[in-house]
Amino acid sequence: MRIAFCCTNTKAAPWIAGLSAALPGADIHEWQPGAPQADHAVVWAPPQQFLDEQPQIKGIFNIGAGVDALLKLRLPPQAVLVRIDDGGMAVQMAEFVCHAITRHVRELDVIEIAARRSEWAFRKPRRREEFPVGVMGLGVLGSLVANAVKQFDYPVMGWSRTPRELPGVQCFAGEDQFDNFLQATRILVCLLPLTSETRDIINARTLSKLMPGAYVINVARGAHVVDEDLIAALDSGHVAGAALDVFRTEPLPAEHPFWHHPKITVTPHTSARTLRDESIAQIAGKIQALERGEPVAGVVDLQRGY
């Protein structure tokens, strides 16, 4: 069995060593133009040339959860595209979101600014009941985030394309229930996959439906947010603030207004990073299952985009 590793801006050696240990007997190599045909590929942002030169490939295993970049390419028609279910990212994402919520609700950002001025700025605690959290996207990452937020006694809701059930989480689904979800949400967390349906979903209309004094946390993809609409909602006061970890252009250009807006916290796409060992174990297990003809989790529906 031959496995090609083609991951842009990724050190190949540790991945190949880990995959070789997990799949003894497999021929695993870093792809170079003109390389022999492989049975499977482990990829991140591969060039179109790679896919064109590997028409017989059976499985394409993406080392991240998001596959939007891959779906812009021409994929071999018989290949199965498989995403990482977690790769150690879910707990990191939950930590990040809970921190962002706590920082906003407890007004730790205000306290931090005052501390720099040597001011003892006590803030009266605010009631969690006044800050219902709405999570958009209830996949592996979104479900764990919703459950983590729930542990802090916030009212938690979730919205997804198709109906889901999570104990203790009020679930909404589909376009018909989207406005009801938004109107009951004061802290909006985006964990949606990026598809043609979800691109620009955090726009002027969506933001206007949120409860007054809303807060936006985006840890999914930058293209979910219409930048100008978010800034307008912040300037109007309807949205109180935003924590943004992902952007349409990364790194975020130095001249972008997000950097300097007093109500926006910018972080450099660091809410969750793929953990190599966990991802290797998962990919190896899925390759073995695929070779045995068994179903694997995380197969991407190319029509839906996730």
pLDDT 10s digits, 173-222: 999 999 999 999 999 999 999 999 999 999 999 999 999 999 999 999 99
Question: 20: burial class by Cβ within 10 Å (0-12, 13-18, 19+)?
Answer: middle
Question: Is 86's pLDDT higher than 80?
Answer: no
Kindly report the pTM of this predicted structure: 0.89
Mean pLDDT across the chain: 96
**Across residues 103-131, what is the average pLDDT?**
96
pLDDT band at 120 (very low <50, low <70, confident <90, very high): very high
Which positions are catalytic? 221, 269
Please write the tens of the pLDDT for every residue from 151-181. Answer: 999 999 999 999 999 999 999 999 999 999 9
pLDDT of residue 66: 85
pLDDT of residue 269: 96
CA distances to 10, 29, 125 from 63, rounded to whole Å, are: 10, 16, 41
pLDDT of residue 306: 87
Question: Where would I find the H helices in the chain?
Answer: 12-22, 48-53, 89-105, 108-116, 140-150, 178-183, 204-209, 227-236, 276-291
- Range in 14-18, 51-55, 270-274 the model is least confident about: 270-274
pLDDT of residue 293: 96
Question: Is 87's pLDDT higher than 90?
Answer: no
